[in-house]
Amino acid sequence: MADNKFFSSPSVDVIESSTKIVGDIISKADFRIDGNVEGNITTTGKVVVGKSGKITGKLSCSNADISGSISGHILISETLSLMSESYIQGDITTAKLSVEEGAQVDATIVMKTGKQLKAVESESANDKKPEAEKTA
């Protein structure tokens, strides 16, 4: 594999542009998505969505660099970077947000600290309490 300076783990799982996955992915690895994923992605690693990548569903990870499109809920515990080619539709919850000029965002954005995000993740897992805080 080529030099891996952009990911936190030594290996990266790649979903190629010719690949379509329907279903949920749960992992501890880093991902590069150039194909189409219809379902939820949950990982403790970093997710990179290339220009041709598309996610329809929930994305939950530590860091993400998005150049493709996501439609759904995005939950990032550290930094979300939206590149100029990205298109986001849905809800974003993150600790840090970086948006390049040209990125298209049609989303509700909630900024939380790492501790607040862990609490949000716990509530989501339990699904016992309704969401108390809404933003415009």
pLDDT one-digit tens code per residue, 22-44: 999 999 989 999 999 999 999 99
Greatest CA span in the chain, whole angstroms? 45
Is residue 107 over pLDDT 80?
yes
Distance between start and end Cα atoms, the chain: 44
Confidence grade of residue 125 (pLDDT, cut at 50, 70, 90): low
**Mean pLDDT taken over the chain:** 84
In angstroms, the Cα distances linking 122 to 28, 70, 127, 129 are: 18, 23, 8, 10
Do 76 and 64 form a contact (C-beta atoms < 8 A)? yes
Q: Which residue segment(s) compose the domain that 27 sits in?
A: 12-119
Total tally of structural domains belonging to the chain: 1
Asked if residue 125 is part of any domain, the answer here is no
Asked if residue 103 is part of any domain, the answer here is yes
Pair of tokens at residue 53: 């990548």
Phi, psi for residue 91 in degrees, rounded to 5: -125, 140
Asked if residue 7 is part of any domain, the answer here is no
pTM confidence score: 0.77
